[in-house]
Structures are given as C-alpha cells and as structure tokens.
A = this chain, B = another copy of it.
C-alpha cells in the first residue's frame, strides 16, 4: 500500500510555524502581520473562499481586513484602493479575489499590487524572481506542492519529475521550483504524445492537468511519488457526488506515496497564503532573508563570439 501524504497534518505544522513567527514579531514590539482581502461583487464561491482565508488568519494571529466592494465598482476606484493599501504600513499582504467583474482589467489590477505585498505571488516581478531562482513570493499552491513532496523526498537532486499541466498557476511555477531543487523536469500537457510512457519513467509525478482520474495505475512505476493537484466534483455510482483528483487513486497503491483528494494539496494552499503573509511582513519589517542567488549578473556574450 502506498503511504498517504497527509496534507492536513503538514498544513497544521506549517500553521504552527507561522503562528510562532507572528508571536515572535509581536513580542519584538511590532504589530501583527496584516492581510487585506478585496472582494468585488457577490460571487458565491468567492465569498466562501474569502471567508475561509479570513478565518484562517485568525487561527495564526494575522490581522485580517476585508474590503467588500459592489459589483459595479469602477476600475479607477479599485486601483485607488490598492494604491492606498500599497502605501499603508499596517498592510503587509494584499489579496484581490478573482474573478473580477468583466468591466475590470484583472491583469492590470493584479499588477498594481506592490510586489512586496503580493501574497498570491502573481505579480510579474515575483513570477520573474521565481523563474530565475532569486527569491520573491512563491504562489501558494506550488509552494504547497513542494512542501508535500519534500516531506517524502527531502533531496530531489537528479530525480526525474514529470509535471502534467503547464498552467501559470501551478504547472510552470512548480517546474521552476523543481529545477531550483536540482530535479530533472519534464513538463507535459494536452499536446504531449505518449504521456503514459513518459510518466512511467518518472520518480515523481505532479498531476495538475485538471483532468479527473487521468493518471492510471499502469502510468506509474513502482515506488514513485505522486502529488495530485487536481480536484473535480464527480457523480459516483451511488448517485452521490464526490471529489476526485487527476489520479486514479485506487490504482496507484504500488506507488511509494500519494496525496489524497481531498486532504492533500488543498489544505496546503491557505496555509501557504498565511506563511506568505508573514514572510511579506517580515521582509517589510526588515527581517527578510537576503535575496537568493544571482540572475543575470554574469550574462555572457559568449554565444556572440561568432557574430563577426
């Protein structure tokens, strides 16, 4: 039987660490880290998500503020609010819940959030830093994926990892984090040919295709580790709906370890949001770690030797 990677337990451990960091900042005389969540309109799913995020903040001692704006809020007003929050020293993280109403340019809005307070890690500056392995805020789900994976394989050096899905939200940032960890990374997607064979060679499969039960048992080699990012509601034979991932869970019991759905990647996402908020606060308070690595300091012109 494959080991179950318990996302709920690992998320709880992360929350404890986050809470300890909050307590440390407060003990040092700082205000508690503050997260501001902006919700425009009344999308029911968004309301659920925002409520969960706010509630999770309380658990670890993060101050949360909610800005609920009517659906007809102008883009100008929303940008003005974000500008004000960017300047507010008591706000360390800003999260603008998507989707936004159609009359608002979502990309413009997300880019207007200061990269230092962008706890979702979606700002191009944070994406760029992730891509070059030079720090910045890492998006929550990819960060959670890496923590789960490292709980089973602490050193990923030289491991063959297949990432299924190349979304900007999960697939690509996970691939970048895996390369930083010195894994050999293959990114596959809807146009990939021979996906079963490619998966069968992998030490690790990160399934983030959003395709329910795509990965079958015979795609998985003995002893592989599987992180299942997918989550889809599906009607079972008994007529009841249940949540399934991108992996046919029952068929992969010859794997070394696998994340369940639910209870795997899901619980990590909010825990990582809280961790990101505290990281942002620490950086803004001057406790941040030095930026990692180099990016283009030595940009060589070597491929130009032949240009004459």
Q: A residues within 8 Å of B by Cβ? A: 7, 11, 45-46, 49, 52, 56, 98-99, 106-107, 110, 120, 122-134, 136, 141, 144, 157-158, 160, 166, 168-170, 172, 175-176, 179, 182-189, 191-193, 198, 210, 229, 231, 233, 243, 261-267, 269-270, 291, 294-308
Give the residues in chain B near A295, CB-CB below 8 Å.
Answer: 107, 110, 122, 124, 127, 168
Selected from B52, B262, B303, the residue in CB contact (under 8 A) with A229 is: B303
For A308, list chain B residues within 8 Å (CB): 52
Contact of A125 among B128, B188, B229 (CB under 8 A): B128
- Residues of B contacting A120 in the complex (Cβ-Cβ under 8 angstroms): 296, 299
Shortest distance from the beta carbon of A305 to any chain B beta carbon, whole Å: 5
A306 touches B128 (CB 8 A): no
Chain B residues, Cβ within 8 Å of A210: 302
A304 touches B186 (CB 8 A): no
How many angstroms between the C-alpha atoms of A133 and B295 in the bound complex? 20
What residues of chain B lie closer than 8 Å to A307, measured between beta carbons?
11, 52, 56, 266-267, 269-270
Specify which chain B residues have a CB less than 8 angstroms from the CB of A11 in the assembled complex.
307
CB distance A168 to B122 under 8 Å? no
Name the 6 nearest CB pairs between A and B, nearest first: A262-B306, A266-B306, A124-B128, A127-B128, A128-B128, A186-B186
Contacts of A128 in B (CB 8 A): 123-128, 131
- Name the CB-closest residue of B to A45: B301
Minimal beta-carbon separation of A294 from chain B (angstroms) = 7
Output the least CB separation between A92 and chain B (Å).
20
In the complex the two chains form, is A306's CB within 8 Å of B184's CB? no
Q: What is the CA–CA distance of A270 and B305 in the complex, to the nearest angstrom?
A: 10
The reply to whether A176 and B172 contact each other, CB–CB distance below 8 Å, is: yes
**Minimum CB distance partner of A136 in chain B:** B124
Chain B residue at minimal CB-CB distance from A8: B306
A187 — which chain B residues lie within 8 A by C-beta? 175, 179, 184-187
User: A122's closest neighbor in chain B, by CB?
Assistant: B296
Shortest A239–chain B CB gap in Å is: 20
A193–B159 CA distance with the chains assembled, in angstroms: 8
- Determine if B193 and A158 form an interchain contact, defined as CB atoms under 8 angstroms apart: yes
Q: Which residue in chain B gives the minimum CB-CB distance to A300?
A: B169
A231 CB contacts on chain B under 8 angstroms = 302-303, 305-306
Q: CB-nearest residue of chain B relative to A145?
A: B303
Interchain CA distance A228-B179 in the complex, whole Å: 21
Q: How far is the CB of A205 from chain B (nearest CB, A)?
A: 14
Q: Tell me if A125 and B124 are in contact (CB < 8 A).
A: yes
Is there contact, CB below 8 Å, between A49 and B304? yes
B304 near A52: Cβ-Cβ < 8 Å: yes
Residues of B within 8 A of A99 (CB): 297-298
Contact of A193 among B184, B233, B305 (CB under 8 A): B184
